[in-house]
Amino acid sequence: MRKNRILAGGIIAALLLLTVFGESVLPLLLLGAMALTAAVSLVLALYFSRFVTAEAETDSLAEKNAALHGAVTVKNGSRFPFLFLGTDTETRNLLTGEVTAATLFRPLPPGAAVRNEVSFASAYCGKTRLTVRKLVFCDFFGVFRFSRPVGVSSEALILPELIPLGVTVVKNGVTEPECDRFSPYRSGDDPSETFAIRDYEPGDPLRSVHWKLTGKFDRLVIREASLPVNESVLILFERIRPKGKAKPSPAARNALGEIAVSLSRELTEMKIAHTVGWLTAGNGAFVGHRVDSDETFQLLLAETLSVSELEGTENTIEGYVRTRNGGGYSNIIYITSVLPENLFLLPPTAKKTVIFCGVGEGDAAVSGEADLYGVTPENYETALCPLMI
C-alpha cells in the first residue's frame, strides 16, 4: 500500500506540474478523473465493508512449549473485491500478560472466504485468547485506508505442570464448628445424612443395607452415607499490583498460577474441601471458588489460569475482609508477587502462610504474621516441597 501511495503521489505531482507549466488542459482533466475515481472507490469500499465478517478459532488445549494452532477466517458477503484487506490480530495470555500482535494483508475476492492459519507457542501456562481486533480496509487502488472494530475471539488453555508440594495441613488449635455441609459429588462415612440409595453390589458392607427398603422392594438396597466437608482452608490468589510496584514477569505469574492450582489439586486429592479466591476485575469484589471434588477442581483450573494481573489500590486481603468479613477459615494461604503489609487484617486465629514470587524487600512485611515461602521462577518447582500450611 505504501508503494501505491507513493506512486499516486508521484502521478498527482506530475499532473500538477504539467497543468501549471503546460498549455494543455489534459493533465487537469486526468487529475480530476483520478480524484473522482478514487472518491468513488473509497465510497464503495466504505459501503461494502459492512458485509465483511471475521471468525476466530483455536485448539482448546495445549501443553507449554507446544504449538497451539488457530485460524482467522474472513468472509466477503458482497460482490465488491477488496484487493487489500488487513486482519489485525492479538494473542494474549490472560494469566501472564504476554501479548503478540500482527496485521496480515491479503486480497479478499467477492463472495469469497479467506482463511489465515496461525500458530503460536508459549513457555508459560494460562488461558490464551486469540482476538481479531479490527479489519483494515483499503479502496480499490490501495491509496486510502480505514478500519472497523471486530472483537471476535477464541480461547485455548495452555495446561500447567502440576508440581508436587508434599502438603501438610497444620492443625492450629482453632475449634471448627460442626460441619453442616456435605459433598454432592461423593459418598462418605457420615450416617447422619444420606448421599444416595442404590441396589446392592458385590463387596458392599452389610451395615450399609437399608433393611426397610430392602423389605419393601424385595431386593437388597444400599444406603450410602454422605461425606462432610469442612471449608477450613482458604487460598487467596493475588492479582492486584499496587501502584508504583514493579510489574511481575510472565515467568513469575506462571509460577504463581502453577503453585495455586497444584496446591488446590493436592488438597482435592486429600479430600480437604477448600476455597480459592481473588478480586474481580470490575468492581473489586472477592469471588471464592469452592473446591471439593475433581469436577469442581477442573472448573477452577480454567478460571485460575485466566486471572490477569491488574494495577489497583486494594489488594485481595482487603477485598476479602471487606466483602466476606474475615470468614471462618482456620488456614489461609496467600499467593502473591508483592509482599503484603496488611496480613493483620486477617483473623488472628487463622494460621497464615505467604507464598511469594516477585520483587520484594525481604520478609519484614510478614515477620511474625505468617510463615513465608519465598520462591523464584527458577526454583519454585522444588522449593515448596514439603509445604506446611
User: Are 96 and 213 contained in the same domain?
Assistant: no
Residues 6+ positions from 33 with CB-CB distance below 8 Å: none
Cα dist. 359→224, 253, 269 in Å? 51, 12, 32
User: Are 208 and 282 contained in the same domain?
Assistant: no
Closest by alpha carbon to 236, among 367, 388, 354, 362?
A: 354
For the segment 119-159, what is each residue's pLDDT rounded down to a tens digit?
888 999 999 999 999 999 988 777 788 999 998 999 999 99
> Tell me, what amino acid is at 356?
F
User: Are 222 and 241 contained in the same domain?
Assistant: no
Opening angle at CA 267, ends 265 and 271, nearest 5: 115
- Rounded mean pLDDT, 265-269: 94
Domain of residue 125, CATH code: 2.60.40.10
The HSE-up count of residue 16 (CA atoms within 13 Å, CB side) is 7
User: Are 295 and 343 contained in the same domain?
Assistant: yes
Residues 6+ positions from 69 with CB-CB distance below 8 Å: 58, 59, 117, 118, 119
Q: 86 versus 323: which is more confidently predicted?
A: 86
What integer pLDDT is reported at residue 176 of this predicted model? 41
Contact predicate 331/353, CB 8 Å: yes
Helix, strand or coil, per DSSP, at residue 322: helix
* Other residues' Cβ atoms within 10 Å of the Cβ of residue 42: 19
Cα dist. 302→71, 77, 95, 130, 264 in Å? 22, 36, 10, 16, 13
Q: Is 300 part of any domain?
A: yes
- Our measurement of the distance from residue 127's CA atom to the centroid of its chain's CA atoms, rounded to an integer in Å, reads 4
Q: Is 169 part of any domain?
A: no
Closest by alpha carbon to 220, among 200, 235, 237, 239?
A: 200
Q: How far apart are CA 173 and CA 45, in angstroms?
A: 73
User: Are 11 and 133 contained in the same domain?
Assistant: yes
Q: Is 180 part of any domain?
A: no
Q: Is 137 part of any domain?
A: yes
Q: How far apart are CA 88 and CA 133, in angstroms?
A: 6
The total number of structural domains in the chain stands at 3
Confidence of residue 262 (pLDDT cuts 50, 70, 90): very high
User: Are 244 and 366 contained in the same domain?
Assistant: yes
Confidence of residue 15 (pLDDT cuts 50, 70, 90): low
For the segment 344-389, what is each residue's pLDDT rounded down to a tens digit?
888 888 899 999 998 655 455 666 788 999 999 999 999 999 999 8
User: Are 245 and 362 contained in the same domain?
Assistant: yes
Opening angle at CA 171, ends 170 and 175, nearest 5: 155
State the sign of the Cα–Cα–Cα–Cα dihedral 247, 248, 249, 253: negative
Q: 262 versus 12: which is more confidently predicted?
A: 262
User: Are 131 and 244 contained in the same domain?
Assistant: no
For the chain, where are the E strands, in sequence order? Answer: 52-58, 61-63, 68-76, 82-93, 99-108, 113-120, 126-138, 145-159, 167-168, 182-199, 221-228, 233-237, 240-242, 274-279, 286-291, 310-312, 331-336, 351-356, 371-374, 387-388
pTM score, whole prediction: 0.76
Closest by alpha carbon to 378, among 179, 130, 123?
A: 123
Q: Is 179 part of any domain?
A: no
Burial class (CB in 10 A: 0-12, 13-18, 19+), 321: middle
Q: 366 versus 334: which is more confidently predicted?
A: 334
User: Are 7 and 154 contained in the same domain?
Assistant: yes
Nine-digit cell string for 144: 486510502
Residue that finishes a domain, picked among 159, 179, 211: 159
Contact predicate 321/347, CB 8 Å: no
Q: How far apart are CA 289 and CA 292, in angstroms?
A: 10
For the segment 312-322, what is each residue's pLDDT rounded down to a tens digit?
888 999 999 88
Confidence of residue 173 (pLDDT cuts 50, 70, 90): very low
What integer pLDDT is reported at residue 179 of this predicted model? 47
What integer pLDDT is reported at residue 140 of this predicted model? 76
Contact predicate 89/133, CB 8 Å: yes
Top mean-pLDDT range of 10-19, 52-61, 188-197, 342-351: 52-61
Helices and strands (H and E) in the chain: how many: 7, 20
Q: Is 178 part of any domain?
A: no
Report the percentage of the chain scoring pLDDT > 70: 83
Q: Is 114 part of any domain?
A: yes
In the predicted model, is pLDDT for residue 74 greater than 50?
yes
Contact predicate 18/6, CB 8 Å: no
Domain of residue 275, CATH code: 3.40.50
Contact predicate 314/320, CB 8 Å: no
- Our measurement of the distance from residue 350's CA atom to the centroid of its chain's CA atoms, rounded to an integer in Å, reads 30
User: Are 375 and 293 contained in the same domain?
Assistant: yes
Whether the link from the prior residue into 386 is cis, omega within 30° of 0, is yes
Residue that finishes a domain, picked among 168, 196, 228: 228
Q: Is 351 part of any domain?
A: yes
What integer pLDDT is reported at residue 228 of this predicted model? 54
Q: How far apart are CA 197 and CA 204, in angstroms?
A: 13
User: Are 191 and 291 contained in the same domain?
Assistant: no
Residue that finishes a domain, picked among 159, 174, 205: 159
For the segment 270-280, what is each residue's pLDDT rounded down to a tens digit?
988 899 999 98
Tell me which residue range forms the domain holding 215. Answer: 187-228
What integer pLDDT is reported at residue 42 of this predicted model? 87
User: Are 213 and 282 contained in the same domain?
Assistant: no
